[in-house]
Amino acid sequence: MARQPDPLVDVSVFQTLDIAFQIDGVTMIDNTNVPNFYSAFFFKRPISITNFPPIDSIIWFEGIGVVHHPLSVGTHTLKLDAVNTQPAFRGFSEYHNTWSVTVLPQ
């Protein structure tokens, strides 16, 4: 007997996300524009996952993304801070990370 698929997370979780994404100190995404970067879609075929019970496949993706022009040669800092202000997946999450990216000349 096939299980009913899990529903998408309510879009309000993304609309109320306390988020800041910066590239070299310039804010790209924050609380004022995060809904512009939200998307959700279903895969045509489930993507199988092993050794992660009770999950056995991925049928949809929902999240926030950004596309940016190529970074110039040199070192760049990308920083992401995100905190859920309402529960999702049975709880709250908080994420803070900074990456240093070096672009080399071709």
Predicted confidence (pLDDT) per residue in 63-78, tens digit: 888 889 999 999 999 9
CA distances from 11 to 52, 55, 80, 87 (A): 25, 22, 20, 12
Ramachandran angles phi, psi of 66, nearest 5°: -140, 140
pLDDT, residue 2, reads 60
Ramachandran angles phi, psi of 82, nearest 5°: -145, 135
Residue 93 pLDDT grade (very low, low, confident, very high; cuts 50, 70, 90):
confident
- For the chain, the domains span 11-103
**Separation between Cα atoms, residue 19 and residue 63, nearest integer Å:** 13
> What pLDDT, in 10s, does the model give residues 5-36?
778 888 888 888 899 999 999 999 998 998 88
pLDDT at position 42 over 60: yes
Q: Model's pTM, two decimal places? A: 0.77
